[in-house]
Amino acid sequence: MTNLPGGPSPEKFPQRCDRLLACLERRGLQALLVTHPPNIFYLTGFRGSAGALLVAPELSLLWVDPRYTVQARAEARGADVVEARYGLLRAVGRWLDRHPIRIVGYEEQHLTCAGLQTLKQQAKRQHIWKPAGLLLEKLRTVKDETEVAFIRLAGQLTAQVLEEVRLEIRPGVREADLAAEVEYRLRRHGAEGTAFETIVASGERAALPHARASSKPLQKGELVILDLGAILGGYAADMTRTFHVGEARRRARRVYRAVREAQGAALARLRHGAAAWEIDAAARHVLGRYGLSGYFTHSTGHGVGLEVHELPRLGQTVRTKLKAGFVVTVEPGVYIEGCGGVRIEDTVLVTATGCEILTPAPKDPWLAG
């Protein structure tokens, strides 16, 4: 891949911390302890797999173990790096014991009970520990222009690899071999890695939404689901296409047409101000017309960014209002036990007037081999 955008400019990280501090003030928190690596990356640019970041007014400290000291000092922006040789949370707790910060928020979805206990034991003074909820995950839902640029390029790379691998779909090829080819080509074309373990599911196994690629060979007359995604600049893309090996029978054509129309209906409703449940309802309405809504077993989509599954979820009960800058998947599917399945998925940017598909691989023709 060429023409990669540069990383976020240095001022992005202080701006993100400022937005976070405003949220902390509204919640009555004097500081937030961030332990989830994607959230640490979002606030500082540090891409290690472990760290502890304390954010407070006039203060940003990043503790790392000796594996990451050099890397953190090179990557982290807006935070002072502290090397912790005997445990990250132990070091944080001891620091808090010596400083006047008392009301500290923490990420309860990512901090274990044992981790919280370590903090309480080391911070011997009286502290108030408050769960902060998905505060940072909510801030991350609106992507800036650099984040969108990385996701767009990751989507283009993903679509390119899908088009190349599509030519390998034929009888006798193993699911695992197709998955390996996908992941090899993603890397070869410049991806930092795969956003998730590539899914290749054929025949009856295509009825498993998250099937792992197996040693099963493809056979003529089968549906084949390929779900793949690249990572670029730390940001993921997520895309699924379904193929049929050889000429498809009437039933398979009908199911494919239903899912294709369901995705189109959902995409038509996707824009700033729409409610998440409305997007899901649009897809289910179409599948209902075909008598297939009972075979759609997951939500219509989810957020994509630093993680391949982020807020918001496009589900039946989700009232979240979408905003321009959200990046989500739209992925209706039909899964019929003993027969197979069809899923069509794109990563999509929400705009003021509609949406932009960021994974531009064709959905027709879908016959292969």
Per-residue model confidence as pLDDT tens digits over 78-104: 999 999 999 999 999 999 999 989 999
pLDDT at 19 > cutoff 80: yes
Going by pLDDT thresholds of 50, 70 and 90, the confidence category of residue 362 is very high
Model confidence over 117-168: pLDDT tens digits?
Answer: 999 999 987 889 999 999 999 999 999 999 999 999 999 999 999 999 999 9
Domain boundary pick from 115, 139, 163: 139
- Domain's final residue, options 139, 158, 181: 139
Q: Is residue 3, in this structure, part of any structural domain at all?
A: no
Residues 131, 159 within the same domain: no
**How far apart, in whole angstroms, are the C-alpha atoms of residue 46 and residue 71?**
8
Q: How would DSSP label each residue in 251-294?
A: HHHHHHHHHHHHHHHHHHH-STT-BHHHHHHHHHHHHHHTT-GG
pTM: 0.93
Query: In the structure, what pLDDT confidence band is assigned to residue 2 with cuts at 50, 70 and 90?
Result: very low
Domain containing residue 68: 12-139
> Does a structural domain hold residue 278?
yes
Determine whether 310 is exposed, middle or buried from the number of CB atoms within 10 Å of its CB (0-12, 13-18, 19+). Answer: buried
Q: What is the CATH number of the domain that holds 273?
A: 3.90.230.10
Distance CA 326, CA 344 (A): 20
Q: Is 158 found in the same domain as 17?
A: no
Residue with tokens 């990046």: 327
Whether residue 158 lies inside any domain: the answer is yes
Structural domain total, the chain: 2
Pair (329, 308) in one structural domain: yes
**Is the residue at 2 inside a domain?**
no
Same domain flag for 114 and 184: no
**95: domain CATH number?**
3.40.350.10
135: in domain: yes
